[in-house]
């Protein structure tokens, strides 16, 4: 095919894809939610394709934060601790559990950053498994997960059993089965691979861990709020997730942690702070843990950091996670369709599973020029993110992303290439 004919074919495909985006948006039952986000009509942003790194703020959040400053912080002052702030980590934790985790009350708490909560959950888990000195972890997991567990292993002189998967997929049941044994204290995995978007078989891997009397900790940062989870039904032991991605809590909003109810008495809080003690305001001489999930708190929680996520949780509950997941599948499938037609002729390859049953809400595209291309895309208002060595990650948050936005963004990728 001559260069002229190739470009003509790409042009014809682009017109068809643009028409398809318009049709998909017109029939989208969740399309109306997009207008509730600040910036959805900003002319300086052609396409925001990084909702799996930082979600857009909601319009109602602006009012919530303003009201908080004027009516609660300014007028109630320190009295607000007794009037609700002390209960917020567990109250909002229960809301997260109900809306996105499939968890009964009393098992989820909002507290520290993801890194700190991972440290606390891992450290508590392995300490509860005397005689076991191995941790199974994915070498392709997000750096924080790997760095934290490396530090704990060095601290406790434990052995790490590293799993390695194809970077375009993720860890399977068979891979875990090959290394788990009587020495395994904990398995640490992400249910959605941060690079490829691969969706792990959480129920099967969790059951395998239990067959070997091991605990399993799931990092649910890339699934919470976009993929229906059933942590109670799956008998998951532990989970940690962030709130600034699909829960739209804002930059630096605190993470949440889940501990199955029957494990809570067995796990000892490794960072003993006043907020997790049985009676914080008695200023006791020695630490006595609070009952239940509250014992996993350490220091003073970020009350302001918990404001925005409440608005998104309400929106998710209104839309329904099953409907959100259906749109997520449609968005990622459409992104792959665009890539196959417009970008594959330019050398772009799909770095994510094509099967939607094992794909989260982002798609990674691969091309050796994507590091340079990402900077140019940002300059023209198209915002994906780059993941080494050559991945352009397209993160699609269903309630704030339109099909037209996906088309405009990936058409810009074609132009830049």
Q: Is the pLDDT of residue 11 over 80?
A: no
Residue-averaged pLDDT of the chain: 95
Residues, the chain = 417
106-133: average pLDDT: 98
What's the confidence (pLDDT) of residue 4? 47
pLDDT digits (tens, 9 = 90+) for 15-34: 899 999 999 999 999 999 99
371-384: average pLDDT: 96
Q: Is the pLDDT of residue 10 over 60?
A: no
| Residue 157 among the catalytic residues | no
Residue 29, class by beta-carbon neighbours within 10 Å (0-12 exposed, 13-18 middle, 19+ buried)? Answer: exposed
What's the confidence (pLDDT) of residue 14? 85
CA–CA separation, 83 and 72 (whole Å): 10
Phi, psi angle pair for 262, to nearest 5°: -75, -5
Q: Is 58 in contact with 302 (CB distance < 8 Å)?
A: no
- The active-site residue out of 112, 393, 403, 414 is 393
Q: Which residue has the higher pLDDT, 301 or 359?
A: 359
Q: Which DSSP category does 226 fall into?
A: T
CA–CA separation, 249 and 265 (whole Å): 30
- The active-site residue out of 142, 340, 376, 386 is 142
What's the confidence (pLDDT) of residue 91? 98
pLDDT band at 368 (very low <50, low <70, confident <90, very high): very high
What pTM does this model have?
A: 0.95
| Residue 8 among the catalytic residues | no
Measure CA of the first residue to CA of the last residue in the chain; give whole Å: 19
Q: What angle do CA 385, 412, 142 make, to 5 degrees?
A: 15
CA–CA separation, 38 and 59 (whole Å): 5
118-142: average pLDDT: 97
Cβ count near 160 (within 10 Å): 16
Q: Which DSSP category does 111 fall into?
A: -
pLDDT band at 42 (very low <50, low <70, confident <90, very high): confident
CA-based Rg of the chain, rounded to a whole angstrom?
Answer: 22
3-state secondary structure of 240: strand
| Residue 194 among the catalytic residues | no
Q: Which domains does the chain have, with CATH numbers?
A: 3-57+320-416 (3.90.1150.10), 84-316 (3.40.640.10)
pLDDT digits (tens, 9 = 90+) for 238-255: 999 999 999 999 999 999
Q: Is the pLDDT of residue 180 over 50?
A: yes
pLDDT digits (tens, 9 = 90+) for 69-102: 999 999 999 999 999 999 999 999 999 999 999 9
Per the DSSP assignment, residues forming a β-bridge with 359 are: 198
What's the confidence (pLDDT) of residue 3? 54
CA–CA separation, 155 and 147 (whole Å): 12
Per the DSSP assignment, residues forming a β-bridge with 277 are: 289
Element (H, E) at 405: helix 403-416
What's the confidence (pLDDT) of residue 168? 87
- Counting Cα atoms < 13 Å in the Cβ hemisphere of 362 gives 31
Q: Which DSSP category does 175 fall into?
A: H
- The active-site residue out of 119, 194, 244, 258 is 244
- The active-site residue out of 34, 245, 387, 414 is 245
What's the confidence (pLDDT) of residue 318? 98
What's the confidence (pLDDT) of residue 48? 97
pLDDT digits (tens, 9 = 90+) for 185-241: 999 999 999 999 999 999 999 999 999 999 999 999 999 999 999 999 999 999 999
Closest by CA position to 394, among listed 368, 413, 416 = 413
Q: Which residue has the higher pLDDT, 40 or 350?
A: 350
Cβ count near 332 (within 10 Å): 25
Q: Is 189 in contact with 218 (CB distance < 8 Å)?
A: yes
Closest by CA position to 92, among listed 308, 407, 397 = 308
| Residue 142 among the catalytic residues | yes
Residue 137 neighbours by CB under 8 Å, 6+ apart: 145, 146, 149, 160, 161, 162, 163, 187, 188, 189
| Residue 79 among the catalytic residues | no
317-321: average pLDDT: 98
pLDDT digits (tens, 9 = 90+) for 326-337: 999 999 999 999
């Amino acid at each position: 095919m001559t260069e002229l004919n190739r470009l003509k074919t790409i042009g014809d495909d682009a017109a068809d894809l643009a028409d398809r985006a318009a049709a998909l948006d017109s029939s989208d039952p969740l399309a109306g939610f997009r207008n509730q986000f600040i910036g959805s009509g900003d002319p300086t942003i052609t396409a925001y394709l990084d909702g799996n790194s930082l979600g857009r703020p909601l319009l109602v959040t602006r009012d919530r934060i303003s009201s908080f400053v004027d009516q609660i912080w300014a007028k109630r002052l320190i009295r607000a601790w007794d009037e609700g702030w002390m209960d917020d980590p567990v109250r909002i934790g229960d809301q997260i559990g109900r809306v996105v985790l499939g968890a009964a009350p009393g098992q989820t708490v909002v507290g520290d950053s993801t890194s700190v909560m991972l440290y606390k959950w891992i450290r508590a888990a392995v300490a509860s498994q005397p005689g076991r000195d191995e941790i199974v972890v994915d070498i392709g997991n997000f750096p924080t997960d790997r760095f934290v567990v490396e530090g704990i292993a060095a601290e406790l002189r434990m052995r790490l059993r590293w799993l390695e998967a194809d970077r375009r997929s993720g860890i399977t049941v068979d891979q875990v089965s090959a290394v788990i044994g009587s020495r395994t204290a904990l398995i640490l995995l992400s249910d959605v691979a941060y690079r490829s978007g691969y969706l792990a078989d959480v129920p099967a891997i969790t059951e395998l861990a239990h067959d070997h009397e091991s605990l399993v900790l799931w990092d649910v940062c890339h699934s919470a709020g976009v993929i229906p989870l059933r942590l109670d039904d799956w008998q998951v032991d532990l989970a940690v997730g962030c709130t600034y991605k699909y829960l739209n809590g804002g930059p630096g909003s605190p993470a949440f942690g889940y501990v199955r109810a029957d494990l809570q008495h067995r796990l000892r809080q490794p960072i003993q702070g006043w907020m997790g003690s049985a009676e914080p305001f008695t200023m006791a001489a020695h630490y006595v843990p609070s009952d239940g999930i509250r014992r996993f708190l350490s220091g003073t929680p970020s009350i302001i950091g918990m404001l925005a996520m409440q608005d998104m949780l309400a929106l998710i509950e209104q839309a329904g996670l099953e409907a959100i997941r259906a749109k997520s599948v449609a968005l990622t499938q459409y992104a792959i369709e665009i890539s196959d037609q417009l970008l594959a002729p330019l050398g772009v390859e799909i770095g994510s599973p094509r099967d939607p049953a094992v794909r989260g809400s982002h798609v990674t595209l691969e091309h050796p020029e994507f590091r340079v291309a990402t900077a140019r895309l940002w300059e023209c208002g198209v915002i994906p993110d780059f993941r080494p060595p050559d991945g352009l990650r397209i993160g699609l948050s269903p309630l704030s992303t339109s099909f037209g936005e996906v088309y405009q963004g990936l058409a810009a990728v074609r132009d830049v290439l």
